[in-house]
Amino acid sequence: MTQNWQQQLQSAIKTPEALLQYLDLSKEHHNISQFGHQQFTTKVPLSFVNRMQKGDINDPLLKQVIPLTDEEISVPDYLLDPLNESAHNPIPGMLHKYHGRILMTLTSTCAINCRYCFRRHFDYANNNVGRSGWNAIFDYIKQHPEIHEVILSGGDPLMVNDQLLHQFTQLLNQYQQIKTLRIHSRMPIVLPARIDHSFLDWIDAQPFNLIIVVHCNHPQELNNEVYTAIQQLKQKNVTILNQSVLMKGINDNADTLIALSHRLFDMQILPYYLHQMDKVQNAKHFAVSDIVALNLHQQLQAYLPGYLVPKLVREIAGKKNKTLL
């Protein structure tokens, strides 16, 4: 019997040892970090693990989620809060960095814990407000009539159930200034079962322009189950964009990025952003230099039509917009 998405979450692999064992890799011969695991726990749904190559410690999907001793290296300019988000956090559960848009965190959890996550040290304890904190955020929206878009972001907003999503959007719909609802989620990629009939019914009830920005870094992540989930979303006229993070040893070569753009477009997803990784503490080993990044982007421009070339960007703390490289 097929498991629903909540059951699949319960079945996720939650230790590096179990992950290596599942992939026929010996833990004794690899630099696994218990420090990293304890600080930011391992969590990987089996639907994502099953896209990894067994016996390959350098698998590009595995490298995104396995805590290595590289995480224990301290680098001065890699910070707990690399984007200084605490300075744009006027109300618990909400960030207001950019004109006309606010970002809300509905939950502190994700379906998968990516080792390069720029919010791996985020103060979720004081920002996971639940329904009790919504009124303050809605009051803030009312006091700022220039706000026209609400972004639901990580922790992954699709980790909350559809009933809670429905309650939230019913209240949000009272504010006619809000035209667009954007959801940043990795779940259509790592746990495509999340796109079920109940969620699709929720989409049908939305009066907003609905955008889902998925997060996929490597073409190996895109399998038939993901394709089915994305097609169900497209049938509901959802705009779907992708953002990737450029990472050493994972996708820092032109062939991989070109294949990713083509595969995304095959699924009716437009490449949107290719991010230079935010300098978050414990993730320096993923960093790619700007020289390499710019060279790769030039190769993408040479080999891909413009609509398949993601914007190469960096987010700089305090700036009012992302910086194009």
| Number of domains making up the chain | 2
Do the domain assignments include residue 275?
yes
CA 27, 45, 70: angle at the middle one, nearest 5?
Answer: 40
Let me know how long the chain is. Answer: 325
- CB crowding 253-264: b at 16 or more within 10 Å, else e: ebebbbbbbebb
Single-letter amino acid, residue 78: Y
Give the relative orientation of helices 224-234 and 197-204 as an angle to the nearest 10 degrees.
Answer: 20
**Token pair in block for residue 293:** 């990044």
Could you tell me if 14 and 110 lie in one domain?
no
Instruction: Name 323's Cβ contacts closer than 8 Å, sequence gap at least 6.
Output: 313, 314, 315, 316
The predicted pLDDT at position 132 comes to: 76
257-272 confidence digits (pLDDT tens)? 999 999 999 999 999 9
Could you tell me if 42 and 117 lie in one domain?
no
Do the domain assignments include residue 78?
no
The predicted pLDDT at position 282 comes to: 80
Up-side HSE of residue 132: CA atoms within 13 Å toward CB?
A: 4
27-72 confidence digits (pLDDT tens)? 766 789 888 898 889 999 999 999 999 999 999 999 999 999 988 8
Task: Please state, as a whole number, how many other Cβ atoms lie within 10 Å of the Cβ of residue 311.
Answer: 14
Could you tell me if 152 and 115 lie in one domain?
yes
What is the arithmetic mean of pLDDT over 267-294? 93
Tell me the C-alpha to C-alpha distance, in Å, between residue 17 and each of 37, 45, 49, 55, 250.
10, 15, 13, 14, 21
CA 219, 233, 321: angle at the middle one, nearest 5?
Answer: 70
Q: Can you give the pTM of this predicted structure?
A: 0.94
Do the domain assignments include residue 304?
yes
Q: Which of 25, 42, 72 is the last residue of a domain?
A: 72
Greater pLDDT, 40 or 150: 150
The predicted pLDDT at position 1 comes to: 66
Q: Which of 72, 99, 130 is the last residue of a domain?
A: 72
Could you tell me if 93 and 64 lie in one domain?
no
Question: How large a percentage of the chain has pLDDT more than 70?
Answer: 93
The predicted pLDDT at position 178 comes to: 98
The predicted pLDDT at position 71 comes to: 81
Instruction: Name 306's Cβ contacts closer than 8 Å, sequence gap at least 6.
Output: none
Could you tell me if 105 and 252 lie in one domain?
yes
Could you tell me if 188 and 304 lie in one domain?
yes
Do the domain assignments include residue 187?
yes
Beta bridge pairs of residue 55 = none
182-241 confidence digits (pLDDT tens)? 999 999 999 999 999 999 999 999 999 999 999 999 999 999 999 999 999 999 999 999
Residue 50 lies in domain: 5-72
What is the arithmetic mean of pLDDT over 299-323? 92
Could you tell me if 29 and 121 lie in one domain?
no
The predicted pLDDT at position 141 comes to: 97
3-state secondary structure at position 85: helix
Q: Which of 26, 49, 72 is the last residue of a domain?
A: 72
Could you tell me if 15 and 163 lie in one domain?
no
- CB crowding 277-293: b at 16 or more within 10 Å, else e: bbbbbbbbbbbbeeeeb
Please report where in the chains the tokens 């504010």 appear, as a residue: 175
My answer on whether omega of the bond before 133 falls inside 30° of 0, hence cis, is: no
The predicted pLDDT at position 147 comes to: 98
Asked whether residue 125 carries a pLDDT value surpassing 60, the answer given is: no
The predicted pLDDT at position 15 comes to: 96
Could you tell me if 151 and 229 lie in one domain?
yes
Indicate left, alpha or beta for 318 from its phi (over 0: left) and psi (-120 to 50: alpha). left
Indicate left, alpha or beta for 11 from its phi (over 0: left) and psi (-120 to 50: alpha). alpha
Tell me the C-alpha to C-alpha distance, in Å, between residue 149 and each of 168, 188, 265, 287.
14, 22, 25, 31
Could you tell me if 59 and 193 lie in one domain?
no
Q: Are 123 and 86 in contact (CB under 8 A)?
A: yes
Output phi, psi for 313, to 5 deg.
-135, 160
The predicted pLDDT at position 82 comes to: 60
Asked whether residue 156 carries a pLDDT value surpassing 60, the answer given is: yes
Which region among 52-56, 178-182, 245-249, 283-287 has the lowest average model confidence (pLDDT)?
Answer: 283-287
What is the arithmetic mean of pLDDT over 107-125? 78
What is the arithmetic mean of pLDDT over 165-187? 97
Which region among 113-122, 132-141, 278-287 has the lowest average model confidence (pLDDT)?
Answer: 113-122
Asked whether residue 120 carries a pLDDT value surpassing 70, the answer given is: no
